[in-house]
Amino acid sequence: MDQKYYAGIDLGGTSIKMGICTETGQSVRELERPTPQGHYKDVLEVFQEMIHQLVSEAQISLDTVKGVGVGVPALLDIEKGYIYEIVNLGWKNVSLKEELEVLLGLPCYVDNDANTAALGEMWQGAGVGARHLICITVGTGIGGGLILNGDIYHGAIGLAGEIGHVTVRADEGQRCNCGKMGCLETETSATAMTYYGRKIAEAGESPPLAEVLKNTGAITAKDVIDVARQGDQAAQKILDQVGYYLGLSLAQLSNVLNPEKIVIGGGVSKAGDFFMEPIRKNFKKYALSKVSETAEIVPAKLGNRAGWLGAAWLVHRNVSNGGSLS
């Protein structure tokens, strides 16, 4: 049997990542390009150019590419591949799957980018071997994807996985973009760490952070982690609080979902065990013992390659289901 390939696209607000992989998820070739900010058709054209470049560089025939998966930062109708809106790019009501299939002459599959990132980690990253995964990305915001029985769980209207908007400080904490207060996102995201870091810097509770603020005019989540690592008590308190809310929320969720693995990604997770240990400690404290004993909390492995690889898995799923076996 001839070798088959899958293409995957991760559409971000600033860049497009695309890659081609084998049936077993081995990356053959990858590319990155800035995202055109104009009409959506410009983006589709870049998709087309990129796939032709990839196929040419990989010296394979377009015939052997069995389809293209796309992860989009959008609310969408997943079956139809129809985008309701991509706020950052000004897209509204785009029949992405339909248009892309005509343009590329290949079957296309679309899902939310948090979901494709989760699928990537399941297929080739920290989730390999697990069929029940909670994936969470701690970055500017908090994103999430649930993998149950080996596939993304979408819920009633495609909103499943919104772990960032779980209320952790009812009627307290910061006001969230979603309208509620004290969401996991407002208390534990990189943005939250920055906010609380600036607060202790300005209040004079953390001399090293006050120094950073004076020198650079800003505080980042990395600054908070760095000075905590160097022994700053006030910064450590912020990390303890983040670990408490993340660990508690993941325990609450895991008592109901009984996952095999919890994968934590996003820029902040690069701080490694220093960031993960407070989460693990609180998870263990608040989860049923049988649940915590059988669920590992691990850092994501693929970084920003998870998105396109997970998008390519959408093709894999379809091919495996007999959708376009050849």
**Binding stretches for a copy of itself (CB under 8 A):** 131-132, 144, 146, 148-149, 153-163, 165-167, 170, 178-180, 248-249, 251-253, 255-260, 285-286, 288-291, 294-295
Residue 241 near residue 252, CB atoms below 8 Å:
no
Helix, strand or coil for residue 14?
coil
Distance CA 150, CA 108 (A): 20
**Considering beta carbons, is residue 206 or 249 the nearer one to a copy of itself?**
249
Q: Which residues pair with 30 in a beta bridge?
A: 19
**Considering beta carbons, is residue 95 or 255 the nearer one to a copy of itself?**
255
Q: Which of 230, 243, 165, 228 is nearest to 197 (CA)?
A: 228
Shortest distance (Å) from residue 254 CB to a copy of itself? 9
**Considering beta carbons, is residue 87 or 178 the nearer one to a copy of itself?**
178
Give me the sheet containing 65-72, strands edge to edge.
Answer: 27-34, 15-22, 5-11, 65-72, 108-112
Please give the single-letter amino acid code of residue 311.
A
Shortest distance (Å) from residue 149 CB to a copy of itself? 7
Burial class (CB in 10 A: 0-12, 13-18, 19+), 11: buried
**Considering beta carbons, is residue 58 or 75 the nearer one to a copy of itself?**
75
Distance CA 80, CA 95 (A): 8
Distance CA 216, CA 222 (A): 13
Shortest distance (Å) from residue 219 CB to a copy of itself? 28
**Considering beta carbons, is residue 12 or 145 the nearer one to a copy of itself?**
145
Cβ burial 39-65 (10 Å sphere, 16+ → b, else e): ebeebbebbeebbeebbeeeebeeeeb
Shortest distance (Å) from residue 218 CB to a copy of itself? 30
The tokens for 236 are 């450590």
Q: Which residues pair with 83 in a beta bridge?
A: 76, 94
Please give the single-letter amino acid code of residue 144.
G
DSSP state letter for 132 = S
Shortest distance (Å) from residue 67 CB to a copy of itself? 23
**Considering beta carbons, is residue 226 or 296 the nearer one to a copy of itself?**
296
**Considering beta carbons, is residue 80 or 290 the nearer one to a copy of itself?**
290
**Considering beta carbons, is residue 22 or 258 the nearer one to a copy of itself?**
258
Burial class (CB in 10 A: 0-12, 13-18, 19+), 179: exposed
